[in-house]
A and B are shown apart, each in its own frame.
Chain A
Amino acid sequence: MKDANSPKRQAERTRRQDRQWTERFIARGDEDAFANIYRRYNARLYALLLRLLAWDAPLAQDALQETWLRAVRSLSTFRWESALFYWLRGIALNHCRELWRAQNKREASRGELDERTAQVYGTQSGLAIDLERAIAELAEGFRTVLILHDIEGLTHKQIAQHLGIASGTSKSQLSRARRQVRRRLAGKSGIEPSPREEK
């Protein structure tokens, strides 16, 4: 059928399935229904949290668990005005911000960062590891905006809504974050240094 596999149709199918599983889970606490939702989104949420929390894996796993617990407790209040993953991502992001506000953070050491990125990418993926490391070394605000925009694909308007900041702030933070990442990557894995590196 024409357009049957278009991104829009696929998103509609995903949304419909998510809603069916969610309703089954709310009505009966059905484990299979929850497992379907969990399998679909858990690895995406973990990748997001791991990056936001600068590859502190134990903290990211605690945050992931907290995200699911909060989601389960409030699934019945979800109004389906957005995709389920957007909502889950919002919960994860809010929890990260709470952790940062509470200063409940422990930056992974360079050795831990190397070890964890190597576990995920293997030792051959030098450029990906260098990029992950450069993102992890950004300050939280810059890191968050860059992850949401350049990896998660959110618009500045969506980022502004999530973080409670102005769109212009999101743009300027992204700009500075990119310059810092570029500076850290300069000369590595064949990437040319930028003529406008931030000092």
Chain B
Amino acid sequence: MNSNDEWKDQEKDAFEGLRREIDPGPDFDRRLWQRLRREGALHSSAATARYRGWLLQVAAAVIFFALGLGLGTWLPDAGQPRQADGRYMLLLLPGEAPASPASADRLVAEYGEWARDLRRQGRTATGERLAGGGPMLPSGQAEPEVPALEGFFIISASSPEAALDTARTHPHLRYGGRIALREIIATD
């Protein structure tokens, strides 16, 4: 570079006076936060605290569940699916029943972590645990030959193949359970 192209002191001062930081304004913050939440990338600290509280409640609920009284939820809310993703339901069918409340507790934690992993990728993942032994209609009587549905998850996936690949990673299978996968058909 030619020495004549170097800045003179007065020009250097002018560069020094340029702002290195410019605030895009609070509207920008709000828009970005909304977008990150929609993609499932952000969880507020308050929500994290609520989740921990909820997990404790679930752990307690599992003890009741083991006695045939309980009901638990794997995740507090669903997250938002990406625009082009489809939704799929994973129906959890019986495998080996938890041998003790402690092992049921571990299942709940693992199933919840599986769903949280999906949510970190910006995907929908919500689930509910179901109590067993409910009646079948129209008789209104329990029918032992019908497999008890232990719970379900709703997830988002880009294709049926992707949903199947995701379902194969569910920890329910590692515990000898079975999963029926069904695509949810949008009706609106």
Partner of A131, one of B18, B28, B45: B18
Structural contact, A68 and B14, CB atoms closer than 8 A? no
Q: Is B23 in contact with A61, judged by CB distance below 8 angstroms?
A: no
Q: Contacts of A73 on B, CB cut-off 8 Å?
A: 41
Q: Is A165 an interface residue (CB 8 A)?
A: no
**A:18-67 near B, CB below 8 Å:** 28-32, 34, 38, 42-44, 46-47, 50, 60-61, 64-65
The docked-state distance in angstroms from the alpha carbon of A47 to that of B10 is: 22
Closest CB-CB distance, B130 to chain A, in whole Å? 27
CA gap between A162 and B40 in the complex, in Å: 31
Q: Which residue of B lies closest to A26 (CB)?
A: B120
User: In terms of DSSP, what is the predominant structure of the interface of chain A?
Assistant: helix
Chain B residues 20 to 55 lying within 8 A of chain A, measured CB to CB, are: 20-24, 28-29, 31-32, 35-36, 39-45, 47-48
Residues from chain A with a CB closer than 8 A to the CB of B44 are 31
Whether the Cβ atoms of A28 and B48 lie closer than 8 Å is yes
Q: Is B145 an interface residue (CB 8 A)?
A: no
Q: Does B17 contact A (CB under 8 A)?
A: yes
Given A120-B22, A128-B17, A195-B4, the answer on whether A29 and B11 have CB atoms closer than 8 Å is no
Give per-residue flags for B1-25: 1 if the beta carbon is below 8 A from chain A beta carbons, else 0.
Answer: 1101101101100110111111110
A128 engages B18 (CB within 8 Å): yes
Contact (Cβ within 8 A) A132 B18: yes
Judged by a CB distance under 8 angstroms, whether A194 is at the interface is: yes
- Assuming A128-B17, A131-B14, A196-B2, is B41 touching A72 (CB within 8 A)? yes
User: Chain B: interface residue count, which band?
Assistant: 35 or more
Cα–Cα, bound, A44→B41 (Å): 22
The answer to the question of A11 belonging to the interface, with a C-beta cut-off of 8 Å to chain B, is no
Partner of A178 from the list B7, B17, B28 (CB cut-off 8 Å) is: B7
Tell me, rounded to whole Å, the shortest Cβ–Cβ distance linking B112 to chain A.
13
Q: How distant is A120 from chain B, measured CB to nearest CB, in Å? A: 6
Q: Which residue of A lies closest to B21 (CB)?
A: A43
User: Are the CB atoms of A61 and B24 closer together than 8 Å?
Assistant: yes
Known contacts A34-B42, A42-B24; is-contact A178 B5 (Cβ 8 Å): yes
Tell me the nearest residue of chain A to B33, going by C-beta: A31
Whether the pair B10, A191 counts as a contact (CB closer than 8 A) is: yes
Q: Which of A31, A189, A191 has the most CB of B within 10 A?
A: A31
Q: Which residue on chain B has the smallest CB distance to residue A39?
A: B29
**Cα separation A32 to B7 with both chains bound (whole Å):** 42
Residues of B within 8 A of A30 (CB): 43, 45, 48
A30 to B41 alpha-carbon distance, docked (Å): 9
Q: Which residue of chain A lies nearest to B27 when distances are taken between CB atoms in the complex? A: A61
In the complex, which of the residues A38, A44, A127, A194 contacts B17, with contact meaning CB atoms closer than 8 Å? A127
* CB under 8 Å from chain B, chain A span 101-143: 120-121, 125, 127-128, 131-132
CB distance from B13 to the nearest CB of A (A): 8
A150 to B13, CA, bound (A): 12
Shortest Cβ distance from A191 into B: residue: B10
In the complex, 25 of the A-B residue pairs with CB atoms within 8 angstroms, ordered by the A residue number, are A28-B48, A29-B40, A29-B42, A29-B120, A30-B45, A30-B48, A31-B42, A31-B45, A32-B45, A38-B29, A46-B22, A46-B24, A47-B20, A65-B28, A69-B35, A72-B39, A128-B14, A131-B14, A150-B15, A151-B18, A174-B5, A178-B7, A185-B11, A191-B10, A191-B11
A interface list, Cβ under 8 A from B: 28-32, 34, 38, 42-44, 46-47, 50, 60-61, 64-65, 68-69, 72-73, 120-121, 125, 127-128, 131-132, 150-151, 171-172, 174-175, 178-179, 182, 185, 189-192, 194-196
